[in-house]
């Protein structure tokens, strides 16, 4: 996969439009999902800016992880965007909507159905920003911890920890919902570690939120 990407980068640098198209298609969905967590509904605009800059700077890209290079550009564009808007990274969607989507995810999971991408992302979006970013960079954009650390300007260990925390929080969230409490996105802000006892016993309670 990475090899394919690298070949495409070289070809695109030589002017091959199809290769550039391939790069776009390979990266754009993940970028957009990541950007949505950062800037919400403006993600598409920021993604456009990102590709504009990628096009521009592609000739100067000298090698290494193209994915990480692009993600960093995207992140910088997002930060600029937020600065312009004078607001901080925040949840893109109202908590209620998140809550609904998230419980969709949970319901689906209990019913053995597949979880929708949107719902999954919404659930990840309920995490504290650092954790959400770490999870998205690792899982959705496929960066390893070292690379994600470079993108974020943080140490790999810190990224790893943030991602782990995020996952634990997600697991706890899903589990708690499974038990029937209509947990809102807001109130599981801090469990450092879920209690072991609360294994997922079969969801005996009736559907949490009807």
State yes or no: residue 191 binds other proteins (CB under 8 A).
Answer: no
State yes or no: residue 62 binds other proteins (CB under 8 A).
Answer: yes
Size, binding site for other proteins by CB under 8 A: 100
Nearest approach in angstroms of CB 134 to other proteins is: 9
Find, among 82, 74, 76, 90, the residue nearest to 32 by Cα: 74
**Which of these segments, 93-101, 180-188, 189-197, 202-210, binds other proteins (CB under 8 A)?**
189-197
Q: What is the 3-state secondary structure (H, E, C) of 163-194?
A: HHHHHHHHHHHHHHHHCCCCCCCHHHCCCCCC
State yes or no: residue 52 binds other proteins (CB under 8 A).
Answer: yes
Tokens 């004078």 belong to 86
**Which of these segments, 2-10, 91-99, 179-187, 201-209, binds other proteins (CB under 8 A)?**
2-10
Footprint (CB under 8 A) of other proteins, residues 71-100: 71-73, 75-77, 79-81, 84
Question: Are the beta carbons of 135 and 167 closer than 8 angstroms?
Answer: yes
Long-range pairs for 198-206: beta carbons < 8 A, 24 or more residues apart: 200/175, 203/110, 203/178, 203/179, 204/180, 205/179, 205/180, 206/180
- The residue (of 61 and 180) whose beta carbon lies closer to other proteins is 61
Q: Among residues 40, 128, 129, 194, which is the contact residue for other proteins, using CB under 8 A?
A: 194
CA 41/CA 46 separation, integer angstroms: 10
Footprint (CB under 8 A) of other proteins, residues 132-171: 135-136, 138-142, 144-147, 149-151, 153-158, 160-161, 163-164, 167-168, 170-171
């Amino acid at each position: 996969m990475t090899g394919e990407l690298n070949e495409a980068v070289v070809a695109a640098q030589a002017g091959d439009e199809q290769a550039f198209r391939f790069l776009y298609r390979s990266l754009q969905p993940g970028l957009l999902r990541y950007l949505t967590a950062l800037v919400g509904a403006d993600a598409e605009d920021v993604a456009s800016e990102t590709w504009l800059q990628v096009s521009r700077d592609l000739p100067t890209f000298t090698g290494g992880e193209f994915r990480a290079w692009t993600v960093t550009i995207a992140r910088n564009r997002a930060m600029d965007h937020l600065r312009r808007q004078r607001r901080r990274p925040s949840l893109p969607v109202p908590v209620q909507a998140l809550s609904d989507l998230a419980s969709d995810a949970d319901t689906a999971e209990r019913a053995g159905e597949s979880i929708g991408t949107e719902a999954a992302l919404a659930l990840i979006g309920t995490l504290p920003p650092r954790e959400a970013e770490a999870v998205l960079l690792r899982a959705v954009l496929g960066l390893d911890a070292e690379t994600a650390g470079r993108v974020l300007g943080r140490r790999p260990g810190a990224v790893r920890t943030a991602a782990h925390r995020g996952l634990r929080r997600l697991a706890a969230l899903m589990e708690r919902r499974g038990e029937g409490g209509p947990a809102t996105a807001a109130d599981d802000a801090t469990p450092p570690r879920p209690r072991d006892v609360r294994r997922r016993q079969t969801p005996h309670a009736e559907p949490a939120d009807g």
